[in-house]
Structure formats: structure tokens, C-alpha cells
Amino acid sequence: MKYVRSFGGGSAEGRAKDKALLGGKGANLAEMASLGLPVPPGFTITTEVCRYVMEHGADAYPDGLDDEVAQALARVEELTRSRFGDAAQPLLVSVRSGAPASMPGMMDTILNLGLNDTTVEALAKQSGNAWFAWDCYRRFVAMYGEVVLGVVAADEHQEPPFDRLLDELKRKHRANRDQDLSEAALREAVATFKAEVQKVTGAPFPDDVRTQLWGAIGAVFQSWNNPRADYYRKMHGISSTMGTAVNVQAMVFGNLGDDCATGVAFTRNPATGTPELYGEFLTNAQGEDVVAGIRTPEPISELATKLPAAHAELVRVAKLLEDHFRDMQDLEFTIQKGQLYMLQTRTGKRTGKAMVRVAVDLVNEGKLTPREAVLRIEPGKLDEVLHPTIDPKARPAAAAKGLPASPGAAIGRIVFTANAAAEWAQRGEQVLLVRTDTSPEDIHGMKAAAGILTARGGMTSHAAVVARGMGKCCVTSCTALRVDVAKKTASIVGGGKETKLKEGDTLTLDGSTGQVFLGSLPLVPAQLGAELGTLMEWVDSFRTMKVRTNADTPTDARTARSFGAEGIGLCRTEHMFFQPERILAVREMILASDEAGRRAALAKILPMQRGDFAELFRVMDGLPVTIRLLDPPLHEFLPHAPQEIEEVAKELGQSPAKVAAKIHELTEANPMLGHRGCRLAITYPEIYEIQAQAIGEACALVAKEGVVVTPEIMIPLVMVPEELRRLRELVARAFEKALGGAQIAYTIGTMIELPRACVVADRIAEHADFFSFGTNDLTQTTFGLSRDDAGRFLPTYLDQGLVPADPFVALDPEGVGALIELGVRGGRATRPHLKVGICGEHGGEPSSVEFCHRAGFDYVSCSPFRVPIARAAAARAALAAEAKG
């Protein structure tokens, strides 16, 4: 077994494809080295060792690892003509984590390892720059102290100890910035840091370089299981069993003077997709300075003026890497004395907008085929492109401006800590997380917030990168902002005035322009841009499933049609009754004591329904419209306030007491499993009869206007075939009568939403022209789990990995999916061409859409804004099935 793979010096023992073993960082370093790019030499300890350590406990390494590391280190020494721990030519290394899946900033990195009181003097002498040597040393002691020795802040309100000590020194020596500290002050920093280590851990800082190396290797392996890495993995569905690799790499220095720099760059703009080298750098700086927001970095374009040769080389390498990987890359580089070194490349995280633009551009540039472009798309991310933006007509002057780090608009009440954001969001508040800068510890708060605003940091700061990954609006580097976490206040200063803000105040952020507004601004729906249109044309050329929408109103139907919906898959007729003037009629119907009373109420409902259906048919001219007959959650319609009861009583000509008694009688112990769906029509057939009449009259009406209607009448919650046989007969009779001789093709089918219906689907299909799987109820009834109550324990189940995903979000393929497959098989055994669709929330969730494709569905139906997502997911499913043969 080989646990260690070397890279650098023009070759590598691995390639980009070896991510599972070498981690993403190690695999790509190997690939870059093999391409002959300037990569400092180093080696990767494989993820296998991490899995070994997880199993056998910390510091229990597999046999032979020691020797392999020693050999690989010797190779690095040879290539760099230096020796680890040497008193004349010391080798310094970085020890970097790198998991198979990208987890930016979630685990730890240590730079300048190999420094001690002897080697620091050698470094000073060798470089002729003592300031530099001590700058490296103080950074190393702080990083090592924090990551390996656990000298960290007690909680998020406190400054990390080494930051605090450095700030004290800066004050003492009147230094504004880190780089203003003198060599003597840096020596003092090292001594102070070491004293802090001794105080906190009770042991001296390790001087032996091999102890340092193994300490760092161990810490990186352990960081695989730190809470923030764990949280990140859960959020992104990354398995926790893979483990991380460790990369040990010769240091190059961006802090040797003004002809040195460190930076990050994207081969295209990650917020918009614009083809331009995009990123930031700092001169005379090291490593994390750019990302940590300690100093505000300069845009890459400035590098062309400051270090033109290195800039030209970066442009060349960036293009080479993008062409090689055929995707937008995210690069980390360091320039030492004018010479460029590449430290990392990976597929760049991008916003939904950039995802679309880059995919279309790469095809137009001939680098990808449309098929590849569609397979690269993450359908879920299209959601961001469809998000509302601030109404341009109602845009006041901005209170402040920062950098447009992640686009979209966000409105919310401001909070100043990640914990507060999480707590407020839990209470149902829409919040904005406002901080000086964010760190990986803030990730749960960023997730909970609608948007993020930071005073510091650039376009590639932690906040910016994480927000873009989450598709969340983010404004960084808002320099007018001052945050006082302890007092829970902030202020915006500028133009000679100061606006005071406190926790709970409302702001609106525009992540596309970087503007910050006081109060809440009106938003307008998104427009589909030209690039999305092109991408969607490709998508549609590959997909075989139709995509419809769930829409109850003409507005929703119109939106969905503009997003490419090919019909309505679910119109919930009870949703047409929520307006106050209508709900009264429904209450009368529910509370009527006999058929005559119900018919009187239904007579009021009939014209309203006819009008609604007619309007929906007009909007969906030429496309099928599935109308589900009444399935009212009774308890949602019953009046409760005395005044409401009185109102209904008056209409019914009954006493309020009698009505109250009736309400009591109708109250169900478990409404979800109660008197609803077609059960209502079995007991009170006149309800479906009148609805069918309203649909028929609406059809006849619009057909006269020249509208092409294809109604599909759907009967919900069928459990035994006989329900459907009877109701179908009743509905067909009423519908045809209402048509009054108009020739309209229509179908009658059922919603499959109970396990029993799946099991007896063959017999149900005798009476159904189509099946539409109602997966919300089917999930509830299969799991025996009420959606409304699951919030109490489902998060624990998810947390403990008892269920891989929320089954109400992503269709459970194992249980619910198996029932669906049974239902499709049964239905099609009776009717080989039975039309099959889905109309639950799952119809717009990518993994569920892919399931539906595999199960042989004709269409999926989802909410209007998810129609483009479903189209893309359907195309990917078709391509995946094709690839499998």
C-alpha cells in the first residue's frame, strides 16, 4: 500500500481523477504539476490514512507511513535545495487539508511550518530580510497554536487570543497595520504568543520540526470531524466517511517585499459569468490574508500595473487551466519576487446566473457540447436566477454601498451574530446577518439569514464565497458600516452624518449592485434572460417528460407559462375560496344541515368557480388543465371567532348556538385522515356534481371564444375502486350536461395518494384515464407522519442520519418510490397507455424529477417558479438514462 504521493518538479504520482484518494486539492495540485505548471513541490497523504485514523484513533497511523513521509520529504528537500530543520538552508512547508468534495475554509491549514528559534535566523540570513523571517514565524506560532494546540477564543463574542495579543502590540507600537510592525515588535509577538501557549496548554511551544510536522498532520486529520466541517457536509449532502487528505508542500512567499503578492482568481466572474480574469490580491502578504478580510485586497486588474510579468503569466495559466478542465476555475496563487506559483485550482463555485452564462458561453466557444453543458447544470441553482429583484421604479438613494458579492435582493431584520440569526430565523423572522466579517464559525447563521452584509472583506472573502455557494444575497466591504456586537448596534457613517441601527431594524440589500437601503423596498419578479432561454432550448431538446405547473390562479398560471409550463397538473379548487367574500359561501356549504342547504350554498359557489375556471382556461389556451375536485381541509375553513360564527348563522338562518354545535360535531380528531377528498362526495354527491357543472359551463363558454380547452377532471384521495367508479359516472353526467352539446375532449382520472391506492392500482385504473401521484399525502400516509407535526422530531432524524433527506422535500425512493412504481405497474397493466404524472411538491425537486423519469412518468407538475428547474432536471434524467443505455 502506498499512503503518500509526491508532486512537483514537473511530475506527479496522481491526476485530477484521483480525488477520492488524494482529495480535490491534492489531485489538482498533481494535475497542475504534471502539466508543467509552476507548483511548489510537495506530497499528499491519502484519505485512506484519514479513514484509518478515524477507525483506530488519533495518532494511530498505518505501518510504513513514517518512512513514506520521510522519503517524500527528502524529495522535496532535493527539489528545493534545502533541508527540513536545517540551521543554514531550512525548508518550510505548509500543511493543508483537502477533502474529495470541496469544503472551502472548513478545515485547517498551517503555513511556515519548520520554523524555530534557529531556523528563523537562517531564514533571515538567507533571505536578507529579517522582518520577513519574523513575520513568517509569528504567523506560524499563531496558526499552529490555534489549530494544533487549541489556543482559541472561548466563544464567538471574544476575539481569538493571538489576534487580541497582536492588536495589543500594534497599539503599543503605534502600528496601524500588521505590516507596520517592526522586526523587534514581531520578535516580541513570537515571544508573547509562545508565552500564551505555555499559559493555556501548560507546555512549551514545540521547537522540534518533526514534532511540528506530525502535530499538524494529526490536526488536519482531526479537523475532518470539527463541528463546522460537519455542518458544512450536512448542508451539502457530503458523506462523512470519505475523510480528508493532507497536503504537505514547500512554502513560497508572498510576503518578501513589494514584488511579492498572494491572491485568488476566477477564470470568469463567479457572480455574473462574464468572461474576464476576476479576483483579488494583496502585495507583501501571505496565505489567508486575502480571504480573511484583514486588509481589503486590490482587484486583479491592478496586478497588471503593479507586477505586469507575473500578471501576464497568471493570465496564461488561467486560460490553460480553464481549457484543460473545460470549466471555470477558482485559482489560488502566490508571487515570490515576481515569479508566479500556483497553489490550488478547483471548479469555481458560482451563482445561478453565472452558472447559466458560463455554460452557454463555453458551448459558444466550442469547449462544451450542449449535452455536456446541460449535464453540468445544477437544476436547483436556477432558482436564484428566478428570484425577485428590487423594483427599479422604487429605488431610493442607497444608505451605503459595498461590493456586489452575491446577487439577488434580500429584505430582513438585522442581527449581529450567527447564533442570533439562527434563533431569530427559528422564530420565523426574516433576518440579515450583519458582521464586520464572517468566519467559518458563522456558517449556520449565514444559512439561516436571508442575506449577509459585512463591513470588511472583498469579493472572495469568506462571506462572499459561502454566500455564492448558498445562492444567497451578500454585500461585502461596506466600509461605511461599523458594527458593535456587544452593544447590538451598528452605524452607517459617511457624508458627515451617522445613521444608527440596532438589532431588529430592517434593511434591504441588493447583492447585484452592492447597495444597502434602509427599510423594506418592493420587489419585482425576475425576467428570463437570453442565456437562460438558450440553455432552456437545449434542455427541452433532450427531455422526454412534460413539465406542468401547480396553479390555482390566473396569475400563477401566467407566470408558469412564461417559464415554459406545458399545462396545469394541479388546480386545487379549494384554494379558490380563501378570499373573505368567498369563504362565507364555503362555510355555509360545510355547515348546512341538509342537502337543500348545501345546494343553496353551492348555487352561490357555482358562478364564482365557473368564472375562475374560464379565466384559467383562457390563460392555458391550447394546453391541458387538470382540475382537482374539492379536497378541503375542513378545519381550515371552519369559522372560530364568535363574529364569524354569527355571520354564517345569519346566512343559514340558524342560531349561532346551533352553528357552534355543528362546528363542534364536525371537528375531527385527525383531519388529515378524516372526512375529506372524495369521501366528501360519497356522502354529499351534490358537491362534485356542481363542480363538474361549473367546469363544463366554463368549457362551453371559452370554447365559444375560440379557446382550445382540454380539461382533465381529477378525483382525489381514492382508496377503493368503487369510489372512483361511482364518482366518475356522476361527474361525467353533470359535466356533459353542462357542455350543452359543445364538443370538448375531456378525461377523468384520479389522484393516487394513499398506499392502498398504489396496491390496487390495477383495479382503480379500470375507471381512470390518468393517474397523478399526490406525493405530499402519499409521503404522509406512507410514513404515517404528519407534515404539520414532523418539525418536532424530523430535524433530529436528519441530524442523526436516520433519514438521508427530508422526505417532504426529496421523494423517498425506497418507500414512497416503491409504492409509486407498484402503482404505475398496476395502472398500466390495466391500461397500457395510462397517462401518469406527479403533482406533489416533489415535482420541482431535481432528484424526485429524475425518479419520475426512471419510473416512466409522462409529466411532472410543480409550482411556477420551479418549472425551469424541473425542465432541466428532466433533461438531465433523460441524458443519464441514455448514457446507461
Based on the shown chain and the rule CB under 6 A, indicate whether residue 19 belongs to the binding site for ligand ADP: no
Closest CB to ligand ADP among 216 and 251? 251
Question: Quick check: 111 binds ligand ADP (CB under 6 A)?
Answer: yes
Q: 856 with 836: CB under 8 angstroms?
A: yes
Give the nearest distance from C-beta 216 to ligand ADP in angstroms: 12
Q: Show the site string, 67-106: x = touches Mg ion by CB under 5 A, - = not.
A: --------------------------------------x-
352 binds, among ligand ADP, Mg ion, none (CB under 5 to 8 A by kind): none
| 300 is an interface residue for ligand ADP by CB under 6 A | no
Distances from the Cα of 871 to the Cα of 382, 525, 528, angstroms? 11, 19, 14
- Smallest distance, ligand ADP to C-beta of residue 104, A: 6
CA torsion angle 399 400 406 410 (round to 10): -20
Rounded CA-CA distance 670/254 in Å is 67
For the segment 105-144, give every residue that binds Mg ion (CB under 5 A).
105, 109
Residues in the chain: 885
Interface residue with ligand ADP, options 249, 389, 477, 775 (CB under 6 A): 249
| Given 19, 83, 96, 876, the residue binding ligand ADP (CB under 6 A) | 96
What does the DSSP assignment read for 606-652?
Answer: HHHHHHHHHHHHHHTTTSEEEEEPP---HHHHS--SHHHHHHHHHHH
Q: Which H or E run contains 98?
A: strand 93-98
Which of ligand ADP, Mg ion, none binds 16 (CB below 5-8 Å, type-dependent)? Answer: none
User: With respect to ligand ADP, which residue has the nearer C-beta, 111 or 824?
Assistant: 111
**Binding of ligand ADP at residue 47 (CB under 6 A)?**
no
Which of the stretches 248-256, 420-428, 451-459, 768-776 binds ligand ADP when contact is defined by CB under 6 A?
248-256
Of residues 28 and 508, the one with the C-beta less far from ligand ADP: 28
Residue 343 lies near ligand ADP (rule: CB under 6 A) = yes
Other C-beta atoms closer than 10 Å to the C-beta of 822 total 16
Least distance to ligand ADP, CB of residue 71, Å: 19
Q: Residue 696 binds which entry of Mg ion, ligand ADP, none, with Cβ cut-offs from 5 to 8 Å by kind?
A: none
Q: List the single partner that 249 binds among ligand ADP, Mg ion, none, CB under 5 to 8 Å by kind.
A: ligand ADP
Q: Which is nearer to ligand ADP, 147 or 250 (CB)?
A: 250
Count CB neighbours of 706 within 10 A. Answer: 7
- Return the residue matching grid coordinates 498572494: 262
What Å distances lie between residue 451 and 315, 421, 454, 480, CA to CA? 33, 10, 10, 18
Q: Does 262 bind ligand ADP (CB under 6 A)?
A: yes
Q: Which does 251 bind (CB under 5 to 8 A by kind): ligand ADP, Mg ion, none?
A: ligand ADP
Q: Answer yes or no: are the C-beta atoms of 553 and 608 closer than 8 Å.
A: no
Minimum gap (Å) between residue 806 Cβ and Mg ion: 31
> Closest CB to ligand ADP among 94 and 863?
94
From residue 767, give the alpha-carbon distance in Å to each of 724, 728, 761.
6, 7, 10
Closest contact distance (angstroms) between CB of 230 and Mg ion is 17
CA 860, chain centre distance (Å): 22
24 binding ligand ADP? (CB under 6 A)? no
Residues 253/286, Cβ–Cβ less than 8 Å: yes
The type of residue at 260 is C
Distance between CA atoms of residues 876 and 881, nearest Å? 8
Residue 835: CA count within 13 A, CB half-sphere: 18
CB of 153 to Mg ion, least distance (A): 17
**Which amino acid is it at 41?**
P
**All residues at 6 or more sequence positions from 196 whose CB lies less than 8 Å from its CB, including other chains:** 145, 151, 161, 162, 165
Determine, following the binding rule CB under 6 A, whether residue 334 of this chain makes contact with ligand ADP. yes
Total chain residues near ligand ADP (CB under 6 A) = 18
Query: Judged by CB, which is closer to Mg ion: 109, or 861?
Result: 109
Q: Is 440 in the site for Mg ion (CB under 5 A)?
A: no
Q: Which grid coordinates belong to 139? A: 504567523
Residues contacting Mg ion: total by CB under 5 A: 4
Of 246 and 576, which has the nearer Cβ to ligand ADP? 246
Q: What is the CA radius of gyration of the chain?
A: 32
Q: Minimum CB separation from Mg ion for residue 146, in Å?
A: 12
Measured CA to CA, the distance from residue 147 to residue 275 in angstroms comes to 38
Per CB under 6 A, which of residues 314..333 are in contact with ligand ADP?
A: 332
Q: Which residues are catalytic, by number? A: 462, 839
- C-beta of 290: minimal distance to ligand ADP in Å? 7
Q: Determine the Cα angle at 445 with ends 440 and 450, to 5°.
A: 125
Q: Based on the shown chain and the rule CB under 6 A, indicate whether residue 438 belongs to the binding site for ligand ADP.
A: no
Which segments within 698-778 are labelled E, that is strand?
A: 710-715, 747-752, 770-773
Among 119, 344, 345, 782, binds Mg ion (CB under 5 A): 344
- Comparing CB distances to ligand ADP, the nearer of 252 and 377 is 252
Residues 6+ apart with CB under 8 A from 652: 588, 591, 592, 597, 659
Q: Does 691 bind ligand ADP (CB under 6 A)?
A: no
Q: Can residue 105 be called a binding residue for ligand ADP (CB under 6 A)?
A: yes
Can residue 344 be called a binding residue for ligand ADP (CB under 6 A)? yes
Task: Give the side-chain half-sphere CA count within 13 A for 105.
Answer: 20
Residue partners of 791: CB distance under 8 A and separation at least 6? none
Question: Is residue 251 within the footprint of ligand ADP (CB under 6 A)?
Answer: yes
Report the alpha-carbon distance of residue 281 to residue 306 in Å, rounded: 11
* Nearest alpha carbon to residue 857 among 878, 882, 872, 876: 878
Q: Which is nearer to Mg ion, 45 or 147 (CB)?
A: 147
48: contact with ligand ADP by CB under 6 A? no
Q: What DSSP string describes 216-235? A: HHHHHHHHTTSHHHHHHHHH
User: Which residue is listed with cell 484521483?
Assistant: 18
Of 44, 94, 573, 626, the one binding ligand ADP by CB under 6 A: 94
* 507, 432 Cβ separation under 8 angstroms: yes
Residue 540 interacts with ligand ADP (CB under 6 A)?
A: no
Binding mask 284-323 for Mg ion (x = CB under 5 A): ----------------------------------------
| Binding of residue 483 to ligand ADP (CB under 6 A) | no
Q: Which one of 77-85, 337-345, 416-424, 820-828 is the stretch in contact with Mg ion (CB under 5 A)?
A: 337-345
Q: Which of 788, 751, 861, 773 is nearest to 821 (CA)?
A: 773
Choose among Mg ion, ligand ADP, none what residue 252 binds, the Cβ cut-off being 5 to 8 Å by kind: ligand ADP
CB of 32 to ligand ADP, least distance (A): 13
Smallest separation (angstroms) from ligand ADP to the CB of 226: 13
CB of 317 to ligand ADP, least distance (A): 15
| 288 interacts with ligand ADP by CB under 6 A | yes
Contact positions toward Mg ion, by CB under 5 A?
Answer: 105, 109, 332, 344
Contact positions toward ligand ADP, by CB under 6 A?
Answer: 40, 94, 96, 104-105, 109, 111, 249-252, 262, 287-288, 332, 334, 343-344
